[in-house]
Chains A and B, each alone.
Chain A
């Protein structure tokens, strides 16, 4: 057993995902408190080349699980073997579908305690303590492993819980994990279909303009695009808007979409259903435009504007452009 803090570092298209950089800085922070090292478990296209550079973001070591464009889950057995060899204090995993699949593999193969999705994780009295909003945010719980629980604690971490460390320079010591055969890791990508237009990664946006059923059409979303551009942000959506085909599902925010934590979320024509709310309630500032003065989103927005989005959004876009000069 060690006091190291491992983290999952996903690569795509030759570069680390933002989650990898966030967790590198989180792992470094926790490792400073535990007296161990921050160790990356790097996987996906670009991992072998790019793992060393995670040192600049806080990783002391990086173990490359594999470099292939394969389902993330297939790196599970190698990840479990690397974790079993070190028995670190914690493994931080991004609370994304891929991160959860790999975390689940660790829990199932290694019989380990699992936490999350958490909004905070720290080392207290030499053990891991997490903080989680549960039951649709109705209660905040703090949890720890039971006494005598096996190490590590596997922790799912929400996007934007940690801020990537910038301006560092170090280089992580890189090793390559041995491939491990496991019947569990047999999934393959049979077909890949790319979208025609580029799809942004909402988890990386610091400003999000989200539209719902009230936006009415794909053309209606063009107004939101312009506002988002004026604010330097990205467009998101409710499930109703994605179901209607006005935007791709990658832009859906909520329980079955992305969980986002931007500094500004501006929702237009969205009622604020609980399944949507759990995906955006930790945004720093929430502005809602809705023509229904009793819409549920009015109960938890910081600023609630009662009015017609088609009238207000173009004027707001002009006003912001004017002020920005």
Chain B
């Protein structure tokens, strides 16, 4: 039983973002991290590995060559091997192109569970897991607060409108998990040293038998304009007053806006 965790390298949550003249995020100029929600997917996979429910954990990322650093960092947390799909033709890939490439790579790696984060910080569509599952023709188990493996079935605990459900499907599956699976572990010094010797393979589109032309410039969407958000009116402050006064002032403020 093997899990492959799909991780994306994204700009650091608090980093200053820059754009290239053609309105793409300038990834070279922005500090990069493992997509925070993918760290939860890694944690879930490693917990199953620790518990003996799976034999191996691998990682897969599609991105620029620098995304190899994210894979090394994942390997430092635990797991066995990693694959980077990188190709100049993939710059600016949208969710459709990303899903197409990841599906092809996963067909080769053939894990029992392809595990993903519930969303990437930069695209935020949560579309890649479902699109990959559809392309591969395997079931999707999405938004798991927990992933459980037993007797050839896979289950996720998923929040419902009023409680939670256990949703089940036969292997192999594509699954995605939320930040409820448990806090991601830190890499130990030993883990960081060990990661340097773990195998990291790099594949191009040609290695995957994919044709760059069929990927239509890696995107079916294009950004036609990028601009700063509308300026906000300055914040009004109420401070250094008694609680009674504060309550009256808040009520006045709400009343002036017809909110009470």
Residues of A within 8 A of B (CB): 12, 71, 73, 76, 80, 97, 100-105, 107-109, 111-117, 129, 133-146, 149-150, 153, 156, 182-195, 198-199, 201, 207, 231, 239, 249-250, 255-256, 263-264, 274-275, 285, 287, 293, 298-308, 311-312, 315-316, 318-320, 323-324
Contact = CB atoms under 8 A, between A and B. Distances in A.
Contacts of B138: 183-184
A26 B154 CA distance: 38
Contact of B133 (A108, A145, A255): A108
B239 interface: yes
A306 B238 CA distance: 6
Contacts of B145: 249
Contacts of B124: 117, 134
Contacts of A195: 162-163
Contacts of A100: 125-127, 130, 142
Contacts of A142: 223-226
24 contacts: A76-B134, A101-B130, A104-B131, A134-B122, A135-B121, A138-B229, A139-B229, A143-B223, A144-B224, A146-B219, A184-B140, A192-B160, A199-B161, A250-B161, A275-B13, A287-B253, A298-B237, A303-B236, A303-B237, A312-B247, A316-B246, A319-B248, A320-B251, A323-B255
Given A139-B19, A239-B179, A302-B233, A323 B118 contact: no
Nearest to B178: A256
* Majority DSSP secondary structure for residues of B touching A: mixed
B169 A187 contact: yes
A307 B103 CA distance: 52
Closest 8 pairs between A and B when the two form their complex, measured CB to CB: A104-B130, A108-B134, A113-B220, A108-B131, A315-B247, A306-B239, A311-B243, A142-B225
B91 interface: no
B227 A323 contact: no
B221 A201 contact: no
* Majority DSSP secondary structure for residues of A touching B: mixed
Interface string B148-180: 000000010011111111111110000000111
Contacts, number: 273
A320 B233 CA distance: 25
B243 A194 contact: no
Chain B residues touching A, range:
35 or more
A115 B127 CA distance: 10
Interface string B70-96: 000000000000000000000000111
B235 interface: yes
Nearest to A231: B260
Given A114-B127, A184-B137, A304 B235 contact: yes
Contact of A140 (B94, B96, B169, B227): B227
A198 B163 CA distance: 9
Contacts of B143: 97
B183 to A, nearest CB: 10
A73 B94 contact: no
Contact of A305 (B158, B159, B228, B239): B239
